[in-house]
Amino acid sequence: MKPCITLLLIVLACRLHGQAYTSYFTGHMNDTIVPAMGGVCMMGGASEHDEAMKWFLRQCNGGDVLVLRASGSDGYNNYLYSQLGIDINSVETIVCNSAQASYDPYVLQKISQAEGIWFAGGDQWDYVFYWRHTPVDSLINQGIAERQVVIGGTSAGMAILGGFYFSAKNGTVTSGAALANPYTNKVTVDSTSFIRTPYLSKVITDTHYDNPDRRGRQVTFLARIYTDWGVEARGIACDEYTALCIGTDGIAHAYGDYPDNDDNAWFIQTNCELETRAPESCVNGSPLIWDQQQTALKAYNIKGTNTGTNTFDLNTFVSGTGGDWYNWYVTNGVFNASESDRIHCQSTGLPWEDNDGLHLDLYPNPYHSGPIMIHYGSTAPSEIWLTDMRGMRIIEVINPGAYTTTLQPEALAPGLYILSAVSAQRISSKKIIVY
């Protein structure tokens, strides 16, 4: 009886504060402080895959799970707390009814105490409008950077997890409309710093990849990013019943019900084998052309299984298991695909990256404020530094630990900066854009 009474009190209290949010609580009221284990879990938008959700809960390490959403109610609470067989301290769902909730002390406290944060489906523009540039996204990013909070989301919740994202500010867009005019006002691709997740700084995600087919519009998103920002971004997408679980090692495991059902995950990139990679035509009012002799993009497809055995390495974006490669291209606004051999190079996405040295993955990039997260794997560099275009060192870190380092720069003037890391007497570098 006591949990029911607690739930009622929380709901009533939230309603007294002008309907800014509604809270649904299940579990123990005490805040359990445990070390979370990091990672990202993304789902394509239909019902959650149990094994993937178990992975998400294990990464919480027995701590507290916070579900953030802008519609719906408490559908996740019992499912996560008691139906999957993984012990956690509590599950709390907070439904944000307005942007006002982003400044509520109770909401902010719950974010700062969570070991796992899950973004439900809905309308991603609500999430962007309510949370971006507020204490909510600041605390979420702080939790990722400092406490290894595990992050996850489905449908709209997956759509906001890349360094680039489709904001849906003007509503959704179909593949046909996007391909016919990549600059239609429905193609609202955004790079403004928001949720900064490991290994996804140069990624734009998409969901519901089987119904309806989203391939054409995601290719349009990639074309816009290339044209507008000069970045060779990458795409990650899931069918509705497929999930991807990305560990701190950067390996993505695909969960689904294959072979009983055709559940797919996709990893898309510009074809780094080409000398010329830019879209032939990406302009307002004309159909997209990104053909490059029918080899403009490379896509790797893996099937989601119940054990998550098929994988893709986000450190290199070329190595996978259990999958097949395809050529993707767009001719006069029409999306096409054909079977392909394995890609034989690594797309950097940005200049000045030394692919023979230490692989660096950093976010956010482009950068505005807050911490800079740097991922490089188990082989730690001996030194990391950040320089401006004059070669002046702004930050220097000696002997950072394995896997990840956080930089806390003071205010940086807009412009270009170079992050460099020394490993085995080699220097690996990556450009950072500060806006």
In a domain, 351, yes or no: no
In a domain, 383, yes or no: yes
Q: Residue 385 sits in a domain of what CATH number? A: 2.60.40.1220
Of the candidate ranges 125-129, 133-137, 236-240, 251-255, the one whose mean pLDDT is the lowest: 133-137
**Are residues 159 and 242 both part of a single domain?**
yes
Full domain range(s) for residue 93? 2-340
For residue 104, CA distances in Å to 31, 65, 71, 119 come to 19, 19, 18, 18
**Are residues 232 and 196 both part of a single domain?**
yes
pLDDT tens track for 185-237: 999 999 888 998 989 989 999 999 997 789 999 999 999 999 998 889 999 99
Q: What is the predicted pLDDT for the residue at 359?
A: 66
Q: Pairing mode, if any, of strands 323-331 and 90-96?
A: unpaired
Q: Are 423 and 382 in contact (CB under 8 A)?
A: yes
Q: What is the predicted pLDDT for the residue at 73?
A: 95
Q: Residue 193 sits in a domain of what CATH number? A: 3.40.50.880
Q: How far apart are CA 337 and CA 356, in angstroms?
A: 31
Q: How far apart are CA 8 and CA 244, in angstroms?
A: 35
**Are residues 305 and 404 both part of a single domain?**
no
Q: What is the predicted pLDDT for the residue at 262?
A: 96
Q: Could you give phi then psi for residue 286, rounded to 5 degrees?
A: -130, 150
**Are residues 73 and 129 both part of a single domain?**
yes
**Are residues 112 and 203 both part of a single domain?**
yes
**Are residues 318 and 429 both part of a single domain?**
no
pLDDT tens track for 401-419: 776 788 888 888 888 888 8
Boundary (domain end) residue, out of 340, 372, 405: 340
Q: How far apart are CA 70 and CA 249, in angstroms?
A: 31
**Are residues 303 and 367 both part of a single domain?**
no
In a domain, 267, yes or no: yes
Domain count along the chain:
2
Q: Is the dihedral of CA 193, 198, 199, 204 positive or negative?
A: negative
Boundary (domain end) residue, out of 340, 371, 402: 340
For residue 101, CA distances in Å to 42, 88, 117, 331 come to 25, 26, 16, 46
**Are residues 61 and 11 both part of a single domain?**
yes
Distance, first Cα to last Cα, the chain: 53
Statement: residue 302 has pLDDT above 80? yes
In a domain, 354, yes or no: no
**Are residues 382 and 264 both part of a single domain?**
no
Q: How far apart are CA 430 and CA 410, in angstroms?
A: 19
In a domain, 346, yes or no: no
The residue among 132, 97, 103 whose CA lies nearest residue 19 is 97
In a domain, 345, yes or no: no
**Are residues 221 and 131 both part of a single domain?**
yes
pLDDT tens track for 328-355: 999 999 999 999 998 887 654 433 333 3
Boundary (domain end) residue, out of 340, 372, 402: 340
Q: What is the predicted pLDDT for the residue at 313?
A: 94
The residue among 28, 41, 36 whose CA lies nearest residue 60 is 36
In a domain, 356, yes or no: no
Q: What is the predicted pLDDT for the residue at 355?
A: 37
One-letter-per-residue 3-state SS of the chain? CHHHHHHHHHHHHHHHCCCCEEEEEEECCCCCCCCCCCCEEEECCCCCCHHHHHHHHHHHCCCEEEEEECCCCCCCHHHHHHHCCCCCCEEEEEEECCHHHHHCHHHHHHHHHCCEEEECCCCHHHHHHHHCCCHHHHHHHHHHHHHCCEEEEECHHHHCCCCCEECCCCCCCCHHHHHHCCCCCCCCEECCCCCCCCCCCCEEEECCCECCECHHHHHHHHHHHHHHHCCCCEEEEECCCCEEEECCCCEEEEECCCCCCCCEEEEEEECCCCCCCCCCECCCCCCCEECCCCCCEEEEEEECECCCCCEEECCCCCCEECEEEEEEEEECCEEEEEEECCCCCCCCCCCCCCCCCCCCEEECCCECCCCEEEEEECCCCCEEEEEECCCCEEEEEECCCCEEEEECCCCCCCEEEEEEEEECCEEEEEEEEEC
Strand order in the sheet with 361-363: 361-363, 372-377, 403-407
Q: Cβ neighbours of residue 348 under 8 Å, at least 6 residues apart?
A: 232, 272, 355
Q: What is the predicted pLDDT for the residue at 389?
A: 67
pLDDT tens track for 257-298: 999 999 999 999 999 999 999 999 999 999 999 999 999 999
Q: Are 114 and 91 in contact (CB under 8 A)?
A: no
**Are residues 308 and 377 both part of a single domain?**
no
Statement: residue 3 has pLDDT above 60? no
In a domain, 287, yes or no: yes
Q: Max CA-CA distance within the chain?
A: 68
**Are residues 326 and 420 both part of a single domain?**
no
The residue among 168, 164, 8, 24 whose CA lies nearest residue 96 is 24
- What is the percentage of the chain residues whose pLDDT exceeds 90? 68
